[in-house]
């Protein structure tokens, strides 16, 4: 028998917890289903030295500010995990774990949510908040399968010591690529940065606060039917956090454009340049983890679902998508931006359920 609820949230990371905060205040019956063994969402899998590039007060979920680190700096990964763990307990959110949702399908007036272990729920509304960490993207470079060295996506990277003495290619020009390159370049025999274009570094005084303000300005303009304001950098540009500034000072942040193919022990460029390599770190991003929505037939070729305001699926009005990126709410994939997106989604859920 499937357990009937008003709402089910799939995913217990920052987006799921933010949705849970507003659902708790709504009076609806709900559960948060999380595939993780412990709280923290995708942060539990981030590399050891990862640090936010916004102050704690700009990286908080609704209702309770993230504690400021003792040194007053930006919160490290473990502080974020501790905060999410305490947040879940503080609001007594009904998180059930480990529950890996395998499929969501129709069930009359409700949706049926089925877990891999056989448990099931029916819900009049489902909020999908599974994020992207479980779906890392690696480009299909010719020869990738022939490369005999180590290949690791940033989702599985932990510490630079694992690459000590190796010749490493760090592929990807975003913040993860810059931060990982910065520390790996101190341990590796050689670290070569490969980016789609020349990296754009934001001024040293610019951090996540400025990026969030820009995202908010774009969102406000869109709501009011105005052209978006001029963009000076964006969420994909590189924030000059301390490790990146240190790497810049020692001249380690030069980059090459993408190689044409891989061989067993090297990358080869179109002009014939060949750089030997023992390992490749793919900092090439993620795609939405939406396999559980396959039975609904909503996932488009680009890996997304067509949504309207507040992330409501256009072809399935009982489903909302939350926290996957700007297409589900401006800056909604960030701690800074998830509050607004979660509030909007839950308000719409409450209205829909009457």
By three-state DSSP, how is residue 107 classified?
A: strand
pLDDT value, residue 280: 98
Nearest one of 1, 5, 26 to 342, comparing CA atoms? 26
CA angle centred on 12, ends 305 and 157, rounded to 5°: 85
Other CB atoms within 10 Å distance of the CB of residue 267: 24
pLDDT at 223: 63
Peptide bond just before 80 cis, omega within 30 deg: no
pLDDT value of position 55:
83
E strand intervals along the chain: 3-10, 30-33, 95-96, 101-107, 110-115, 120-128, 150-153, 167-171, 190-194, 255-256, 261-263, 266-268, 274-276, 279-282, 319-321
Report the pLDDT value the prediction gives residue 215, as an integer from 0 to 100: 62
> How does pLDDT run across 165-206, given as a tens digit for each residue?
999 999 998 889 999 999 999 999 999 999 999 988 877 766
Q: Write down the pLDDT at residue 207.
A: 63
Three-state DSSP state, 335: coil
Positions in the chain whose pLDDT score sits under 50: 233-235
pLDDT score recorded for residue 231: 54
Q: Within the chain, which residue ranges are assigned CATH 3.50.50.60?
A: 3-135+286-353, 144-201+238-282
Q: Nearest to residue 158, comparing CAs of 132, 186, 183? A: 183
Span 3-135+286-353: which CATH code?
3.50.50.60
pLDDT of residue 296: 96
Helix or strand run (H / E) with residue 80: helix 77-90
Position 11 scores a pLDDT of 98
Instruction: Please give the pLDDT value at position 217.
Output: 66
Give tens-digit pLDDT for 84-116.
999 999 999 999 999 999 999 987 889 999 999
Residue 270 structure tokens: 């179109």
Are the C-beta atoms of residues 333 and 339 closer than 8 Å to each other? no
Q: How far is CA 46 from CA 25, 78, 81, 236, 278, in A?
A: 31, 9, 10, 18, 23
Nearest 5°: phi and psi at 76?
-80, 170
Structure tokens at 112: 């049926």
279 phi, psi to nearest 5 deg: -155, 150
Looking at domain 144-201+238-282, its CATH architecture is: 3-Layer(bba) Sandwich (3.50)
């Amino acid at each position: 028998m499937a357990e009937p609820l008003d709402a089910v949230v799939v995913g217990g990371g920052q987006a799921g917890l933010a949705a849970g905060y507003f659902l708790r205040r709504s009076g609806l019956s709900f559960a948060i289903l999380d595939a993780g063994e412990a709280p923290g969402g995708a942060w539990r899998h981030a590399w050891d030295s990862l640090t936010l590039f916004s102050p704690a007060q700009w990286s908080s979920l609704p209702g309770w500010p993230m504690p400021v680190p003792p040194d007053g700096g930006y919160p490290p990964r473990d502080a974020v995990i501790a905060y999410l763990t305490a947040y879940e307990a503080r609001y007594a959110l009904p998180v059930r774990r480990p529950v890996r949702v395998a499929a969501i399908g129709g069930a009359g007036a409700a949706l049926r949510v089925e877990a891999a272990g056989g448990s099931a729920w029916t819900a009049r509304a489902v909020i999908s908040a599974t994020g992207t960490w479980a779906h890392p993207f690696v480009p299909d470079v010719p020869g990738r399968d022939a490369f005999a060295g180590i290949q690791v996506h940033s989702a599985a990277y932990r510490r630079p010591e694992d690459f000590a003495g190796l010749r490493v290619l760090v592929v990807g020009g975003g913040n993860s690529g810059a931060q990982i390159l910065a520390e790996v370049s101190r341990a590796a025999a050689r670290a070569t940065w490969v980016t789609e274009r020349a990296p754009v570094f934001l001024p040293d005084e610019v951090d996540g606060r400025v990026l969030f303000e820009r995202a908010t300005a774009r969102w406000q303009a869109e709501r009011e039917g105005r052209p978006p304001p001029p963009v000076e950098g964006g969420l994909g540009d590189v924030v000059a956090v301390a490790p990146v500034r240190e790497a810049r000072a020692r001249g380690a942040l030069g980059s090459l454009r993408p190689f044409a193919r891989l061989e067993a022990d090297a990358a080869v460029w179109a002009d014939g340049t060949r750089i030997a390599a023992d390992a490749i770190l793919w900092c090439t991003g993620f795609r939405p983890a939406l396999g559980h929505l396959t039975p609904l037939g909503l996932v488009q070729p680009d890996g997304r679902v067509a949504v309207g305001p507040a992330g409501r699926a256009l072809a399935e009005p009982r489903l909302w998508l939350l926290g996957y990126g700007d297409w589900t709410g401006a800056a909604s994939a960030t701690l800074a931006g998830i509050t607004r997106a979660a509030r909007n989604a839950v308000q719409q859920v409450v209205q829909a359920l009457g």
